[in-house]
Amino acid sequence: MKTFQVILTKSYVVTVNAENERQAKHAAEFYTSDIYDISSDKDKRIFNFSIEDIECKMNEGIIFD
């Protein structure tokens, strides 16, 4: 089996209570994560794959009205 690296981008709307936009943006970028493999052993066996590693490289927040 070959190994491939795939760039995956996800977007979220995070509602944050904070003193200002800067703090809200920082909290959303720094304190959120859901990076984990949710595949089952059955999925891996049927579709012949394995996820070796998932590492978050960047979270970028944008304030919008």
Average pLDDT over residues 29-37: 80
Separation CA 57–CA 6 (nearest Å): 12
pLDDT at 44: 93
Confidence of residue 9 (pLDDT cuts 50, 70, 90): confident
Residue 41: its pLDDT value, please?
95
Report the length, in residues, of the chain: 65
Q: pLDDT band for position 54 (50/70/90)? A: confident
How far apart are the C-alpha atoms of 42 and 63, rounded to whole Å? 41
